[in-house]
Structure 1
């Protein structure tokens, strides 16, 4: 449940003194944390408007400026989106300008950019988490996970070979048919059908050579250079929700990143 106006009390917030540091954070950071709690609890769904700054200021009994500063940080982190004259909305992977924010492979020719990929689901099965997968997803070894292997093609050319591991309980009921039939980004499917929103990711990138099986699936020669991208994606409060390992062809595409 989201906090009621009368429940806001800065003294009730987590105490960091036990860690040997002052138990203090700016008021706007405390308000940001309370808004994050409401987002995590699903009070406002992806794509929905959150209350106005005036309403939130009254709810938390703080100034409108304090609320604005909290929302500014949430917007900078792509958790909410401001729309001039309309309000502030919970960010969603279904929006056109953010739908492929986590997919950074683009064609060398420019043009259409990161258009929707054609998906071929090779495998979708439930299994017990290995020690490595469990460690990444903050599970226990042997906990249920969903493992997916798929090939993503662009303009009919197989370009990405991916393996995904998802914690079993949040994604209970996810099927290969759902993954194959969904036309938009996979993270939008996770939002709509399972209430899981990926808000940030960490990636490790290295160059590798294709083995025989990988080469066959991607239509390249064994030993061909591939870009290996390992991604760990998080939902609110830094809870890991997906481990993804992708092998990217870069003979006609490149990996693009924007640094701010």
Structure 2
């Protein structure tokens, strides 16, 4: 039987959870078959069947599970790898990507660069963690209801010992139960690594917008600049599986020795 003929069979197998291990019902789709396989693999990743850093089954095994060709599975995995959801390791297999493993993953969400072009990982100082209620703006950004519980983290990033970025990070409280300053301070690693390891929330992509603002008194003191000094304001919404927004971040950045860098491809 051909891959095309098996498209409906594969989707229904994923819905039953027998062959694909999917947890949510599926309906027949007119997507290309490899896109259906990609969707079923994403469901299994989201359910935690394969944890960050773990190997997923080989293309041959997955092809047998889904009753499709290895080429179809390979194309699905190629797209997942292109989206930094999985990582191929030559001679070892394919692994669930993690924010804790490589230098490139560290800098994927860090856009501030030294003016000499060198990558520099900043020191992070979590100033406080506060509980609050979502404003209408925050609720829209992270897809919750106004008044729902949120956690607000304030963090200072230092590059070369100099305060460079003051972050205010808002998270839905329901996804981050038990998050405290003490718990974060005890973790060794990046903030996104902390979210992934401690709460099972993996940031897969982000959208940002950048504008110029003037430093208010509180920010000026934190960043050691004058009141009214020009700053970059970088607002970010980060998304996890299913394109669900789970973080709203506003970073105020001084550019005395750093600049915002982005690569378009």
TM-score under structure 2 length normalisation: 0.89
Q: CA deviation at 1:252?
A: 0.2
- Alpha-carbon distance in 1 for matches of 2:224, 2:21: 59
Q: CA deviation at 1:241?
A: 0.8
Cα distance 1:226–1:124, how it changes in 2: closer, same or farther (>3 A)? same
- Quote the residue 1:81 is aligned against: 87
Q: CA deviation at 1:182?
A: 3.1
**Is 1:106 the equivalent of 2:120?**
no
8 Å contact 2:20–2:40 — kept in the other structure? no
**Is 1:209 the equivalent of 2:222?**
no
Structure 2 SS opposite 1:221: coil
Q: Which residue, out of 26, 41, 46, partners 1:13?
A: 26
Q: CA deviation at 1:156?
A: 1.4
- Quote the residue 2:70 is aligned against: 64
**Is 1:145 the equivalent of 2:158?**
no
Structure 1 SS opposite 2:56: coil
**Is 1:230 the equivalent of 2:243?**
no
- Alpha-carbon distance in 1 for matches of 2:203, 2:123: 21
Number of residues paired by the alignment?
A: 248
RMSD of equivalent CA atoms:
1.8
- Alpha-carbon distance in 2 for matches of 1:200, 1:243: 12
Mapping of 1:90-105 within 5 angstroms?
Answer: 90-96=96-102, 97-105=104-112
- Quote the residue 1:200 is aligned against: 205
Structure 2 SS opposite 1:99: helix
Question: Unpaired runs of 5+ in structure 1?
Answer: 16-22
8 Å contact 1:49–1:88 — kept in the other structure? yes
8 Å contact 2:203–2:238 — kept in the other structure? yes
Structure 1 SS opposite 2:175: coil
Q: CA deviation at 1:126?
A: 1.2
8 Å contact 1:4–1:59 — kept in the other structure? no
Q: Which residue, out of 34, 47, 50, partners 1:41?
A: 47
Q: CA deviation at 1:6?
A: 7.3
Cα distance 1:65–1:208, how it changes in 2: closer, same or farther (>3 A)? same
- Alpha-carbon distance in 2 for matches of 1:121, 1:71: 36
- Alpha-carbon distance in 1 for matches of 2:117, 2:189: 21
TM-score under structure 1 length normalisation: 0.90
**Is 1:248 the equivalent of 2:250?**
no
Q: Deviations over 1:157-201 (max 9, x none)?
A: 100001010111110001112333433210001111000000000
- Alpha-carbon distance in 1 for matches of 2:237, 2:74: 30
